[in-house]
Amino acid sequence: MVRYEVVRVKPPWSSGYLYGVFGRAEWNGIWVPAAAAVPLSGDLGAVAALSEKCTALQLSPEQLMDVASDFISQTAWEP
């Protein structure tokens, strides 16, 4: 099982926060880091919806970068 969640970062060049997706995979009962795509957007709602969808569909961690690339190309960048 893989679980994706929103991560918040504060880049030095911005006064606000940016959000990305962090994936954890269950391995022998322990949740270990599996994939990360940070930052993606300044839109928390959009990134939260993406992480929920990735979890619901059980996206493979190897595919997260492709999904993140598609997400960025389909949304307006708002730092």
> How do residues 62-74 score in pLDDT, each as one tens digit?
999 999 999 999 8
CA terminus-to-terminus distance, the chain: 32
Q: What band does 79 get if pLDDT is binned at 50, 70 and 90?
A: low
Pick the closest to residue 69 from 14, 21, 13, 6 (CA basis).
21
| Structure token pair of residue 26 | 């269950």
35: amino acid identity, one letter: A
| Structure token pair of residue 10 | 């504060």
Q: What band does 77 get if pLDDT is binned at 50, 70 and 90?
A: low
Residue 55 burial by CB count (10 A; 0-12/13-18/19+): exposed, middle or buried?
A: middle
Q: What integer pLDDT is reported at residue 75 of this predicted model?
A: 79
